[in-house]
Amino acid sequence: MNKPKAIIFDAYGTLFDVNSAAEKSKNKIGDKWEAFANYWRTTQLEYTWLRSLMHRHKDFWQITEDSLDKSMKVFNINKDMKAELLNLYKKLSLFSEVKETLENLKNKKMKLSILSNGTPELLNTLVVSNKLDKIFDDIFSIEEVGIYKPNSKVYDLPVNKYKIKPNEIIFLSANTWDVSGGGNYGYNSVWVNRNHTVFDNLDYKPFKEIKSLQQLLDIV
């Protein structure tokens, strides 16, 4: 592969730990906090796909709230915790290696961007709160096209902005469906497999598989 012209990152689950909101409230939620967090995330993703298929778009924040409502009922969590959990979702933690890795990549003179289901406001809040605001050239939100990943209109966004080919992009995600979506579109998709899981059968084999973003430095 020639030197890439852009490195594009998924946000949720790749840069930011989606379970960290529930984890910060685990003293109130109890031992079921992790199962609850996983259910909330799964429901959230299902709602993005279903709404895309139904052409009934809601932005990611509304979907996050809707999926939380269902998850709290399923896990019998006190409804008074809703505001706390939503507020914590706006302040998700970075995975431990992310900041240092991004700072090292910034020195390589390539475009660094986020491509995410999140709203511009949510993504900007996360970037600023985690002190990454001087890292990224662009933050691409699906709100520009009004449909969620893995629709190809989403993956078009950085290609159109930078006037480059899909195969000139390295795309990173911890979500196998997103790796496949980007890869089938034409990106060099890298799977960040932190949890040692099994890849989905979606007609794409990852360009690379890494366990930590730090390993990206060996690729570029």
Contact between residue 155 and residue 170 where contact means Cβ atoms under 8 Å apart: no
pLDDT, one tens digit per residue, over 9-47 is 999 999 999 999 999 999 999 999 999 999 999 999 999
Q: What are the domain boundaries of the chain?
A: 6-17+93-219, 20-89
Whether the bond into 150 is cis, omega within 30 of 0: yes
Tokens found for residue 71? 């998850």
| Catalytic status, residue 203 | no
Q: Which one-letter DSSP state was computed for residue 38?
A: H
Tokens found for residue 129? 């709160």
What one-character-per-residue DSSP string does 74-101 give?
A: HTT--GGGHHHHHHHHTTPPBPTTHHHH
Strands across the sheet containing 6-9: 138-141, 111-116, 6-9, 169-173, 188-192, 208-210
pLDDT, one tens digit per residue, over 150-189 is 999 999 999 999 999 999 999 999 999 999 999 999 999 9
CA 218 and chain centroid, separation? 22
CATH number of this structure's domain 6-17+93-219, picked from the four choices 3.30.70.3040, 3.40.50.1000, 1.10.730.10, 1.10.3720.10? 3.40.50.1000
> How many CA atoms are closer than 13 Å to the CA of 59, on its beta-carbon side?
10
Determine which one of 10, 17, 137, 218 is catalytic: 10
CATH topology classification for 20-89: DNA polymerase; domain 1 (1.10.150)
Helix (H), strand (E) at residue 130: none
pLDDT, one tens digit per residue, over 85-105 is 999 999 999 999 999 999 999
Matching fold, domains 6-17+93-219 and 20-89 = no
pLDDT, one tens digit per residue, over 44-85 is 999 999 999 999 999 999 999 999 999 999 999 999 999 999
**Which of 106, 75, 72, 97 minimizes the C-alpha distance to 174?**
97
